[in-house]
Amino acid sequence: MKVFPHQKARAIKPGSRRPAKELCSDCGLCDTYYIHYVKEACAFLNQQIGELEEEHHGRSRNLNSEDERYFGVHQEMMAARKQEPIPGAQWTGIVSTIACEMLTAGIVEGVVCVQNTKEDRFAPMPVIARTPEEVLAAKVNKPTLSPNLSVLEQVAESGMKRLLVIGVGCQIQALRAVEQQLGLEKLYVLGTPCVDNVTRAGLQKFLETTSKSPDTVVHYEFMQDFRVHFKHEDGSIEKVPFFGLKTNQLKDVFAPSCMSCFDYVNGLADLVVGYMGAPFGWQWIVVRNDLGREMLDLVKDKLDTQAVMSKGDRQQAVQQSIPAYDKGVTLPLWAAKIMGVVIEKIGPKGLEYARFSIDSHFTRNYLYLKRNHPEKLDDHVPEYAKQIVGQYQLPD
């Protein structure tokens, strides 16, 4: 039997080697013999989004189109929600539903997704699900860095030929770079946007500084109404305005990988399911290529859909928040609440909210990289992100 070069390159011990050092997002690649390709594959060592877009979508994003500059290569965007939401899913469960349908229809033999450990609802446990029940056991975000690619060796060993991988941008960048080595006949990639991720310890700090009852939080999301919504075990929802977050204490909570990421919208997935470009309560769908369309078509009869919309003007709000974030200013809660209400009434909505979030994070991350890893600035920031950041005046 032919032995591939990477199969001799087993990591000494899972987690023991991380060539990206502090910028490592723990995507899991280095827990496998695919560590052999890490220098080319790691999203933090070799930014190659443009080249990989060309390889997988047939072209890189059109920088003359504002929609593509922001949201990546796509055929279509829409807002959607399940007619019958999956209880306990992050939103309405479109991601889990697509994965279940693909298994049931025999389109794939397995799904890489993330369950949680028995002891801790937020501790990620990547698995290859082979049944809809196992997919459903992975519903809801584990809002922590998750080594999804650590199961890739099991894929090769299982002899599986058709696979669906669910993941966030950094995981998908590394996956795309080693895709040809996996011995698969068909790979589908269902992505979610991702931002401001944390280690498990960082998550604890975030919950403790932000929620009134950190131990009972079952899920949370940074919502389009400019508040963090914490859902608690008893079903109650606690809302904390973004502008009231203790930014001075939270500055170091987000993982350095996420502070230097410019792939918020998961540009290399076939289909992306998030929420930020959709009206409140709806999910946001980005169909990047024909495989993405095939996945979406499988569940379309279970969805209500509507066209994407865009309203408001984000740019002033973004510009004003740059120095505030930079200096770690925190507004008193009463002021933050008033600001939240005003912004919600007149602020950006739909795709303009998504642009607001991208602009805020890209400017913050650009400054982080400039200050902490200036030698990486030129190669690591993709051209589309340089153009987005270039719209704003940044402090030195």
Binds 24: which of ligand SF4, ligand FAD, none (CB < 5-8 Å by kind): ligand SF4
Residue from 27, 98, 136, 203 touching ligand SF4 (CB under 6 A): that is 27
Binds 38: which of ligand SF4, ligand FAD, none (CB < 5-8 Å by kind): ligand SF4
| Strand arrangement, sheet containing 227-232 | 217-222, 227-232, 237-241
Residue from 42, 77, 152, 273 touching ligand FAD (CB under 6 A): that is 273
Phi-psi region of 161 (alpha: psi -120 to 50; beta: other; left: phi over 0): alpha
Q: Which range in 40-48, 140-148, 336-344, 365-373 contacts ligand FAD by CB under 6 A?
A: 140-148
**18 touches ligand SF4 (CB under 6 A):** yes
Residues 6+ apart with CB under 8 A from 334: none
Binds 94: which of ligand SF4, ligand FAD, none (CB < 5-8 Å by kind): ligand FAD
3-state helix, strand, coil in the chain (%, to 5): 45, 15, 40
For ligand FAD, the closer CB: 60 or 192: 192
Q: Which range in 14-22, 218-226, 312-320, 350-358 contacts ligand SF4 by CB under 6 A?
A: 14-22
Return the half-sphere exposure (C-beta side, CA atoms, 13 A cut-off) of residue 44.
23
DSSP H or E run through 283? strand 283-287
Report whether 47 contacts 382 (CB < 8 A). yes
Q: How far is the CB of 375 from ligand FAD (least distance, A)?
A: 28
**274 touches ligand FAD (CB under 6 A):** yes
Q: What's the per-residue H, E or C state across 11-43?
A: CCCCCCCCCCHHHCCCCCHHHCHHHHHHHHHCC
Q: How far is the CB of 44 from ligand SF4 (least distance, A)?
A: 5
Residue from 11, 20, 190, 272 touching ligand SF4 (CB under 6 A): that is 20
Report whether 272 contacts 263 (CB < 8 A). no
Residues 6+ apart with CB under 8 A from 232: 213, 216, 217, 218, 238
Residue from 6, 7, 19, 50 touching ligand SF4 (CB under 6 A): that is 19
For ligand FAD, the closer CB: 38 or 195: 195
For ligand SF4, the closer CB: 22 or 252: 22
Say how far apart CA 255 and CA 146 lie, in whole Å: 12
For ligand SF4, the closer CB: 145 or 240: 145
Report whether 43 contacts 256 (CB < 8 A). no
For ligand SF4, the closer CB: 308 or 369: 369
* Site mask for ligand FAD (CB under 6 A), range 158-197, x = bound: --------xxx-----------------------xxxx-x
With CB atoms as reference, the residue minimizing the distance to ligand FAD is 274
Q: How far is the CB of 219 from ligand FAD (least distance, A)?
A: 9
What is the DSSP pairing of strand 186-191 with strand 162-167? Answer: parallel
How many amino acids of this chain bind ligand FAD (CB under 6 A)?
Answer: 35
**163 touches ligand SF4 (CB under 6 A):** no
**38 touches ligand SF4 (CB under 6 A):** yes
Vertex 381: Cα angle to 28 and 192 (nearest 5): 45
Q: How far is the CB of 258 from ligand FAD (least distance, A)?
A: 9
CB atoms within 10 A of CB 300: 10
Amino acid identity, position 382: P
**79 touches ligand FAD (CB under 6 A):** no
Amino acid identity, position 290: D
Q: How far is the CB of 138 from ligand SF4 (least distance, A)?
A: 20
Say how far apart CA 254 and CA 43 lie, in whole Å: 17
For ligand FAD, the closer CB: 168 or 369: 168
Q: List residues binding ligand FAD (CB under 6 A).
A: 89-96, 113-114, 124, 138-144, 146, 148, 166-168, 192-195, 197, 221, 273-276, 283-284
